[in-house]
Amino acid sequence: MRKIPVALVVLGLVTVGLTGCSLQTVSAPDCSRASVSNPDVMKLIEVTGDTDSEPKVDVYTPLHASHLGYEDVVTGDGTAITSNDQLMVMDVSLFDGTTGDPIVATAYDGDLSRVTSPSQWATNFPGFETALHCATEGSRVAVALSPDDLAEGIAASFKIDEDDSVVAVLDIHKVYLPSATGQLQFNSGFGLPSVVRAPDGRPGITIPTGTPAPTDLVVQTLIKGDGEKVTGDQPVRVHYTGVVWGADESFDSTWDGSAASVTLDGVVPGFAKALEGQTVGSQVMVVIPPDQGYGDKEQASIPANSTLVFVIDILGLDAEAPTTDEG
């Protein structure tokens, strides 16, 4: 993992904590979008059917899109996609714009364990990033992809001409939070690390200079979310930053990539105790003494007998993959 400065850059960061008694709310980033773009093209596409099954699509053919168009056929009321790395679960159906014939579709089997992101889909379909920006959980989005909205070689793999357009239907079944959202909580922070947040939610941690590390586990809820409770029955999707007490750089952070899926029996005991009973949307700081961390064993860049500090954003609970009966 690339090391990053613990406190990040002071400019643009806000302190997490309260100086008074009124509770303040940390909200998801503002996000708005037009319900339709490139309407002259999108009026040539009709999409019907339930969002949990493959759509029926009628295209006024031949459809040729000179640039990307999209339309929100159904607008959901769930979490919005505000970042290209934000995690989601989505089914996709693709159609030949020239003939209207189906090309390929995902399974539409209700499996919510297939977690992806707009940036992953954009490897083959760069136009999806624009089409998905600010779209919400529960939405169905029809998309007209121009030749420029397909990665090199995709048209050939679909056995269509390089200058043909593709119609896509995106069914967004689940969207994870991009960062913690909820009410800021009052905590007594004397002798404990301070936490600041960048506009995108990324935390910075400052360890108090010259202060001995606590010998007992310390868990503080910095932001209280209102989502589902972490029980350990399902994997938890989290962003986290970890610091060794006394160091000025993090030893690990998920914020430069995708959020991690963890189980309570797959992390050190102190990390698990910090998560159990918390709610989705919460941000938690935990100070883990060696006996609830890695103990007297060195772990990569973490010295033996280290006290660990983590700031954890709880973004959602993962669905278990369905089991297949064999017989």
Tens-level pLDDT at each residue, the chain (327 residues): 444 444 443 334 444 443 334 458 888 778 889 999 999 999 999 999 999 999 999 999 999 999 999 999 999 999 999 999 999 999 999 999 999 999 999 999 999 999 999 999 999 999 999 999 999 999 999 999 999 999 999 999 999 999 999 999 999 999 999 999 999 998 877 889 999 999 999 999 999 998 999 999 999 999 999 999 999 999 999 999 999 999 888 999 999 889 999 999 999 999 999 999 999 999 999 999 999 999 999 998 899 999 999 999 999 999 988 776 554
Is the full-model pTM beyond 0.85?
Answer: yes
Q: Check: CB of residue 75 under 8 Å from CB of residue 281.
A: no
Place of tokens 């990390």: 271
- Could you tell me the domains of the chain? 14-28+179-317 (3.10.50.40), 36-175 (3.10.50.40)
Could you give the CA distance from residue 30 to residue 64 in angstroms, rounded to a whole number? 33
Cα gap 250→243, rounded to integer Å: 4
Query: CB neighbours of 272 closer than 8 A, spacing ≥ 6?
Result: 232, 264, 265
